[in-house]
Structure 1
């Protein structure tokens, strides 16, 4: 049972990291397109990209790997 849980968590982890990767790409494009409009520095743009990536991947991981979703 533990091996199956570990395999399922590994699959959920890869899905969460993939969601974070795509969020980083999208935020990178948005910062590139609108960075001059909002007068963002390179550091602020990088901070925005990293913050959104971490939040999206952690939220996705929480939604996927919720041990209480079965009512246990």
Structure 2
């Protein structure tokens, strides 16, 4: 999807947008439907920002083994 994106913008697929909508912590803008190489026509979204009041539930999780889990990046 990089070939249909714009410089310094994060473009995500509809599936990724749905996951981010479920978390309710990100601001997304529908970009529209584009022909994505190897995928055909897809509706894509811009990832605009993370909401200021959002705390990612995955960052405060421990694995069942008792070892802490850390996600970065």
* TM over 0.5, shorter chain: no
Q: Which has the higher strand share?
A: 2
Q: Which has the higher helix share?
A: 1
Bigger Rg, structure 1 or 2 = 1
**Higher RCO (C-alpha under 8 Å, 6+ residues apart):** 1
TM-score (norm 2): 0.23
